Amino acid sequence: MTDYFGYGVHFVMNITDIDDKIIIRARQNHLIERFRQQQKTLTPGLLDIVLTSWTSYVHAKVAKGLPESERPASGSEQDTWPHLVSRFQSEDKSWKLECLKRDEKFEMQFTAANKAYNAIQNSRQALQNGQAGEETAQALVDESRDILALTLDKEQGSTVKDHSIFRSLAAYWEDQFFKDMRRLRVRDPDMLTRVTEYVPEIVSFVEGIIKNGYGYVVDGSVYFDTWAFDSAENHDYAKLEPWSKGNRELLEEGEGALSAATGRRSAADFALWKASKPGEPSWPSPWGPGRPGWHIECSVMASAILGDNMDIHSGGSDLAFPHHDNEMAQSEAYHNCSSWVNYFLHTGHLHIEGLKMSKSLKNFITIDEILQKYTARQLRLAFLTQFWNAKIDFSESLMVGEVRNIEASFNNFFTVVKALMSQAQAEGPRLDSAHRFNDLEKELTAKFHEGQASFHAALCDSFNTPDALNVLRDLVSRTNVYINSRGANLEISVVERVARWIGQMLRMFGLGEGESTEIGWGQDVSGEANVNREEILIPYLRTLSSFRDGVRKVAIARGDTALRDILALCDKLRDVDLVPLGVALDDQEDGKALVKLVPPAELIKARDEKRAQEQEKAARKAAAVEAERQKRLKKLEKGRTPPQEMFKPPHVPEGTYTNWNEDGLPLTDSEGKELSKNKAKNVKKEWDAQTKLHEEFLAWQREQQQA
């Protein structure tokens, strides 16, 4: 939007630093850590607490996924658990799949319960062995963390009052988020807003909604009246997804786990302000101590910064209803307008190997983990190959196959173009009078202009980055064809113009490491210094290459043995000495080498692959020669027998024939009867073939004796 279309964008991002999930997690983390620090020794009492928590967890969480016939009865949990573990770990996966159908979180919850069960058994053994120290006690707590959290929160959650406990958790993950975004080269927002910093504005906003007739108070909470809003002139509720209007599951999920549904006029009504219960952070308000509802925060912060209308609102596709529909309704109710947002951009979900990324499905990959396997550029390329508003399928085949091939093709293209530009600059203006802008140059220029138009059309079509990227790839392919067809007679200015624009578009997509205007992705600024290696090294390398070109030319012209050794040294310089330095010399038809700087690892890999291919080819050739030799030896061995002996024992079974003529051809069969005319004909044919084979054998035998 900014770097290509030239729009002025004021990008505001809000941080939800307080909601039901944050409250629960922060509270549980605090209670678990406090409980852990209190355990100075392993005692039967601690074991009882963990065991009671484990039993409750099995009934509350694990049992939901189990068949009714296998759900443990009260008091039998420990006795039946080994049987369930056996079913869970069985090679027959059908049982587990059925459990996952009943509860998609079954595997995650069963694993947590089994981890705690094993810790309980180990702790019992430790008690018996007299190993009951602080380390053993805290290990039991650590292994049982997930199940203890529920019990401790239920029993002690109401005692947590310190706001900093909740804020510190959100602050930690906010920091981690932006670190990851910067590693992916995602630009920071122009302005960052946090819910906890806008509570007074939220209270005022809710008061305005009530004043306008669209909010009502119930026991210290304030709810938005969806019926009143939907009935009002110029207002419609659930404009984004009207078909989801009565979806109870989505509505309840949008309200959060800590919300109380009592007192609402309609199931569709949502909380603008929530009365805080013990163990939840609270702020003063006209309706009593409470905290903001989830949906109201975005409306208030956006309105505080952008006013009563914003051009674009973005978020994941799962937020369309109820979150964004609720945002629009309450904002239009407050501002007395009919359109609070002009455009919504709902992005598709990330899927891993065809399945939506989820912790419960064990296909959850963090940015830190993925950046250990792939670069930020490769990740961005992967996303650019798919539509932003569709399901994004991330797979090994996509990364290893398509993405790395795309990256390599651009890398190779830029390397060749930079080498050609450097060579042209070193050689200076051409001295011949022939013009260089011929049919091939006109054709490439026309394709370049067509590509620019197609690229623009693709981005205008709802940011169609897959098509836009294909345009760039097609231009690379067409330019490579031109380079190969023109050889030394190419017009470098045409190639440079195409390459420079392609590089600019790739950097516009955030695929470059800097803001360089050089040919390619841009200079790498991740190191301590931004050094242009080509600018420094190419003049020296070109001098070395020119010397090698001259030596090769003389050696090729002379052609004697000594100069063949010089040619071998030239090849060694190219294939052995310069490769680890990241220097590639591409010998051309005109006798001049094209000098390129390439990452040493790429050159070494390419050289090793070429050697492996040559060795494989040589091995195949040697195998074919050996196979042919064995075939000939087998044939010669068959010819060792003279034709006069071939129909006599031991070459045929005793008694097969009873009479032969002077050439060894059989005349009568085993019963002394004369051979039939057809049989005699076949025997003579075999005899003639053996005669030829025997003559070849004798000739080969004479050759071996002479050798």
8 Å CB contact between 14 and 295: no
The torsion of the CA quartet 129, 134, 139, 142, rounded to 10 degrees, works out to 150
Which residues, other chains included, contact 349 with Cβ-Cβ below 8 Å and sequence gap of 6+?
316, 317, 318, 356, 357, 391, 392
The single residue listed with the structure tokens 């702790």 is 123
Measured CA to CA, the distance from residue 387 to residue 385 in angstroms comes to: 7
Which residues, other chains included, contact 284 with Cβ-Cβ below 8 Å and sequence gap of 6+?
none
Structure tokens at 33: 């850590």
8 Å CB contact between 26 and 169: yes
Structure confidence at residue 42 (pLDDT): 92
Cis, bond preceding 322 (omega within 30 deg of 0): yes
Beta bridge partners of 393: 351
8 Å CB contact between 2 and 189: no
8 Å CB contact between 583 and 597: yes
8 Å CB contact between 599 and 582: yes
Angle formed at CA 189 by CA 180 and CA 463, multiple of 5 degrees: 90
Domain ranges of the chain: 39-159, 182-347, 422-522, 536-598, 639-706
The single residue listed with the structure tokens 């030394």 is 488
Measured CA to CA, the distance from residue 301 to residue 68 in angstroms comes to: 48
The single residue listed with the structure tokens 């963390």 is 145
Beta strands per DSSP E along 164-213: 191-194
User: What is the end-to-end Cα distance of the chain in Å, rounded?
Assistant: 82
Mean pLDDT by 10 residues, the chain (707 residues): 95 92 93 94 94 94 92 90 93 89 89 95 91 90 94 94 92 95 93 96 97 96 95 92 82 65 83 93 96 94 95 93 94 94 93 72 80 92 94 86 92 92 81 74 96 98 97 97 89 94 94 73 50 63 71 73 75 82 80 80 84 90 89 86 90 88 89 89 91 90 83
Beta strand 392-394 with 350-352 is parallel
Measured CA to CA, the distance from residue 431 to residue 450 in angstroms comes to: 33
Structure tokens at 272: 């603008």
Regarding the domain delimited by 182-347, which CATH topology (the fold level of the hierarchy) does it fall under?
A: Rossmann fold (3.40.50)
Beta bridge partners of 674: 668
8 Å CB contact between 300 and 201: yes
Structure confidence at residue 525 (pLDDT): 39
Measured CA to CA, the distance from residue 583 to residue 577 in angstroms comes to: 9
| 392-394 sheet: strands from edge to edge | 355-356, 350-352, 392-394
CA-based nearest residue to 611, from 575, 586, 587, 581: 575
Q: How far is CA 235 from the centre of its chain?
A: 43
CA-based nearest residue to 367, from 384, 385, 380: 380
Structure tokens at 555: 């050696």
Regarding the domain delimited by 422-522, which CATH topology (the fold level of the hierarchy) does it fall under?
A: Isoleucyl-tRNA Synthetase; Domain 1 (1.10.730)
Helix locations, 39-144, DSSP H:
44-60, 77-89, 94-102, 106-128, 134-143
Which run of H or E residues covers position 298?
helix 294-306
- Residue 662 has phi, psi (to 5 degrees) of -65, -20
pTM: 0.74
Q: How far is CA 96 from the centre of its chain?
A: 28
CA-based nearest residue to 520, from 366, 395, 634, 410: 410
8 Å CB contact between 264 and 218: yes
* b (16+ CB within 10 A) / e for 316-330: eeebbbbbbbbbbbb
Structure tokens at 436: 């260089």
